[in-house]
């Protein structure tokens, strides 16, 4: 699962793959701003055939949060 999410983050946001670890903070460590987060959410929704609600998107702070939401859908 982590490898799939890593691949999506790298493609959507152009982040160095080595920085993408479960404890990485999206904003501080990976430089993902609100616009990038929306783009990333759309990519995740397409890749995993899920829907990420706006309130859930606002609560995504780490890569682990992304993994959790994908696994729970």
Q: Which three-class secondary structure string do you get for 1-35?
A: CHHHHHHHHHHHHCCCHHHCCCCCECCCCCCCCHH
**CATH label of the domain that carries residue 31:** 1.10.1200.10
Which secondary structure element, helix H or strand E, spans residue 72, and what is its range?
helix 63-72
| Comparison of pLDDT for 2 and 73, the residue scoring more | 2
Q: What is the pLDDT of residue 65?
A: 97
Rg (CA), the chain: 11
Q: Which range marks the domain in which residue 60 is found?
A: 2-72
In angstroms, rounded to a whole number, what is the distance separating the alpha carbons of residues 59 and 15?
Answer: 20
Sorting pLDDT into bands at 50, 70 and 90, what band is 73?
A: confident
Total number of domains constituting the chain: 1
Question: What's the pLDDT tens digit per position in 43-62?
Answer: 999 999 999 999 999 999 99
């Amino acid at each position: 699962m982590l490898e799939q999410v890593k691949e999506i983050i790298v493609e959507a946001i152009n982040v160095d793959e080595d920085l993408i670890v479960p404890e990485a903070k999206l904003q501080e460590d990976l430089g993902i701003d609100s616009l990038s987060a929306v783009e990333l959410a759309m990519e995740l929704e397409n890749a995993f055939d899920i829907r990420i609600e706006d309130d859930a998107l606002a609560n995504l702070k780490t890569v682990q949060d992304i993994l959790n939401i994908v696994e729970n859908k």
